[in-house]
Amino acid sequence: MTRQPLVAVEPECWRRDDLVGAVHAGGGIVVPAAEAEGLIWADPQSPGLLGPVLRAAPQLRWVQLPYAGIEPYLEFLDGERLWTCGKGVYAEPVAEMALGMLLAGMRGLTSYLPARSWLGPEGRNLRGAAITVLGGGGITVELLKLLAPFECDVTVLRRHPEPLPGITGVRVVGPAALGEALAGSDAVVVALALTAETRGIVDAEALATMPEHCWLVNVARGEHVVTDDLLEALGAGTIAGAALDVTDPEPLPDGHPLWDLPNCIITPHVGNTPEMGMALLNRRVTENVRRFGAGEPLLGPVHVALGY
């Protein structure tokens, strides 16, 4: 039987009318955290403020975090509450960014955009290309939909090599096949959750395995790529180039050597902007509030033991 759950939107200084409206749309009643069963955490910039809220409201049974990446909140995760995050919420805009970066890199836009004279031809087709995607989550699923018209030969590497929901014609392999998957790639897209196992997965060895014409696209987290190893590979021409929406460190400091590489595209973590993402997060909040009230499984569950 569906009921009206009591849900807090905190902290007060970040409470947004649209998030409050999303709770109401899901059938919830917005109350202070001390009276709530569920909590929508609305401040992505100050994760440390969550601790005091949790300590002051031990009765909370469910916490919704704002982003797919939960690294800033790991110290607060416990097995006593339901934890959900933005996993899958922002997949569509981030996948669109990955597609744009693939096209920009493979079609030679890094050469043509700064040019002030007529250049010779360069570039490779995305159509029919061999693409390896590291990660099997929502971003990958959406990217594969966008790649379908290009008839790419796609390999997806994920922790458990099981078929992706609703996706056919794609090769899915496990971590042991990383080297083989990279070796045959025209481009590699990083769309992984950041864990101890995936941090630094693109290192000197991985880069050396990729063909010289290969482009690396990272729309996940900067720490998946060992920056010093990437700098060396780009400078030496070990790979053709890299398109990075995320970096390590982030923000990338002024004067960092990556800025000066002609075969490196850098965007400031804008695969999903607040303007793009807020409406998507509101939809997730509304649906999860509805599910919480109905006693149904929530979307975007956090695997506390795995950290994502």
Give catalytic residue positions. 221, 250, 269
Please, are residues 137 and 92 in contact by the beta-carbon 8 Å criterion? no
The amino acid at 160 = H
Cα–Cα distances (Å) from 188 to 48, 98, 134, 142, 148, in that order, read 35, 10, 7, 16, 16
DSSP for 195-244? Answer: -TTTTT-B-HHHHHHS-TT-EEEE-S-GGGB-HHHHHHHHHHTSSSEEEE
Please, are residues 27 and 289 in contact by the beta-carbon 8 Å criterion? yes
Q: Which residues of 100-125 are buried (b: 16+ CB within 10 A; e: fewer)?
A: bbbebbbebbbeeeeeeeeeeeeebe
53 Rama sector, left if φ>0, alpha if ψ -120 to 50, beta otherwise: alpha
Please, are residues 106 and 164 in contact by the beta-carbon 8 Å criterion? no
Helix (H) or strand (E) holding 125: none
Cis peptide before 52 (omega within 30 of 0): no
What is the Cα–Cα distance from 137 to 118, expressed in whole angstroms?
Answer: 41
Tell me how crowded residue 151 is: count the other CB atoms within 10 A of its CB.
12
- Partner residues linked to 10 by β-bridges: 41
- In sequence order, the 6+-apart residues with CB closer than 8 A to the CB of 116 are none
Closest C-alpha to 12, from 34, 36, 43? 43
